């Protein structure tokens, strides 16, 4: 029912819908690289232990390396307060409902970062699905998976594992109490992504925490500050 | 469920393109959604229907083409479709595979009414 003077037109576009997020992420990456800051994106389900792990890493990076944390949550300032209690600068982004952080949210924080900084951790909103689709300008992406979540998660939520550089298995101290097959989780995660570097950790016993902190320091490739 | 924010990003592009073309209406939109895009096509459709109200795309039809995951073996050059999420080349057992298709989340085509 073409009206007089009105024409139909087909426009071929081929445009990445999240292209604007990728562009902002690339700008963030370039800025942080230029300042020599290693940026690490932590993704996991709620309650896997992201904040606790950051508290433990903070203890191990001090005093030689300076870290800061950007916290993402739907509501509350709680996680940033926990990190600040460790003497680490922290910024809380409350997304007000959004299930993931986007690069433009991180970009707003950049001007506030301390002048001297070695590592910037971005703790994403607790969610194993949506954050995987949004680059934030990170150099390293880590997915955390806790023992009680079960060993079947990598294949159920493949994108988070396929796009990550590290898999950090948390709450390893609970393994004796739960039906949990650690070899299976490692095997399935590596089937998805053979390049995954896997760490087995426990914030309770301290297992794997030095190794993880040393890995970040090695990636930074810089001697500690005096 | 981040489909609504994806549709919001889509509409930024749609309205920009339609404005550039001086379109009166957007009548159709085609998207390509890869299996590994992390997006559920049905949820995208719901979000699109909700978002389009009151815009020049109010009557637009949404078409979504789902793209399977295709990988290329870096060692033997075999290209295969992947549906088991075991990244091993069925030809030579190499794990050095490159994703060739399946991560897309793209706008392919817009149908417009112009004067």
pLDDT attached to residue A221: 87
Set of chain A residues whose Cβ sits within 8 Å of the Cβ of B86: 191-192
Give the DSSP H/E element, type plus range, for residue B52: helix B41-52
pLDDT per residue as tens digits for the range A24-78: 999 999 999 999 999 999 999 999 999 999 999 999 999 899 999 999 999 999 9
Suggest the residue from B8, B60, B87 to mutate for an interface test with chain A (most A CBs closer than 10 A): B87
Residue with tokens 């085609």: B30
Q: Give, in order, the Cα–Cα distances in Å from A106 to each of A26, A40, B34, B69, B90.
A: 12, 12, 26, 30, 41
Candidates A102, A125, A121; CA nearest to A48 is A125
Three-class secondary structure of residue B55 per DSSP: coil
Instruction: Quote ipTM for the complex.
Output: 0.88
CB within 8 Å: B108 and A193: no
pLDDT attached to residue A3: 58
Mean pLDDT over the full length of chain A: 95
Q: Compute the nearest-CA separation of B76 from chain A (Å).
A: 17
CB pairs under 8 A between A and B: 94
pLDDT attached to residue B91: 94
Confidence of residue A4 (pLDDT cuts 50, 70, 90): low
pLDDT per residue as tens digits for the range A140-177: 999 999 999 999 999 999 999 999 999 999 999 999 99
Set of chain B residues whose Cβ sits within 8 Å of the Cβ of A8: 27, 111-113
Q: Give, in order, the Cα–Cα distances in Å from A115 to each of A95, A112, B45, B58.
A: 26, 9, 45, 49
Set of chain A residues whose Cβ sits within 8 Å of the Cβ of B1: 99, 130
Q: What are the counts of helices (DSSP H) followed by strands (DSSP E) for chain B?
A: 2, 6
pLDDT per residue as tens digits for the range A211-224: 999 999 999 989 99
């Amino acid at each position: 029912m073409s009206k007089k003077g009105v024409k139909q037109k087909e426009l071929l576009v081929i445009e990445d819908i999240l292209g604007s997020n990728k562009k902002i992420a690339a700008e963030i990456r370039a800025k942080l690289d230029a300042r020599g800051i290693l940026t690490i994106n932590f993704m996991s389900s709620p309650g896997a232990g992201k904040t606790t792990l950051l508290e433990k890493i903070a203890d191990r990076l001090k005093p030689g390396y300076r870290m800061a944390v950007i916290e993402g949550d739907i509501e509350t300032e709680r996680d940033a307060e926990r990190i600040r209690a460790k003497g680490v600068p922290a910024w809380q982004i409350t997304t007000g409902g959004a299930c993931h952080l986007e690069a433009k949210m991180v970009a707003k924080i950049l001007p506030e970062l301390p002048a001297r900084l070695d590592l910037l951790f971005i703790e994403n909103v607790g969610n194993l699905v949506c954050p995987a689709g949004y680059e934030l300008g990170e150099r390293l992406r880590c997915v955390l998976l806790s023992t009680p979540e079960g060993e079947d998660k990598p294949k159920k939520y493949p994108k988070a594992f396929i796009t990550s550089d590290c898999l950090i298995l948390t709450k390893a101290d609970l393994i004796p109490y739960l039906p949990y097959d650690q070899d299976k989780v490692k095997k399935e995660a590596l089937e998805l992504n053979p390049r995954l570097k896997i760490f087995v950790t426990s914030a309770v016993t301290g297992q794997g925490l030095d190794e993880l902190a040393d890995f970040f320091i090695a990636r930074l490739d810089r001697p500690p500050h005096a | 469920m981040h489909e609504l924010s994806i549709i919001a990003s889509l509409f930024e592009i749609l309205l920009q393109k339609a404005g550039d073309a001086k379109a009166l209406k957007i009548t159709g939109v085609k998207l390509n959604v890869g299996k590994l895009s992390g997006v559920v096509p049905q949820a995208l459709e719901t979000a699109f229907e909700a978002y389009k109200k009151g815009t020049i795309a109010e009557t637009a039809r949404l078409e979504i083409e789902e793209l399977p995951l295709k990988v290329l073996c870096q060692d033997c050059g075999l290209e295969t479709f992947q549906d088991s999420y075991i990244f091993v080349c069925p030809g030579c057992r190499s794990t050095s595979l490159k994703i060739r298709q399946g991560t897309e989340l793209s706008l392919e085509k817009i149908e417009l009414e112009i004067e």
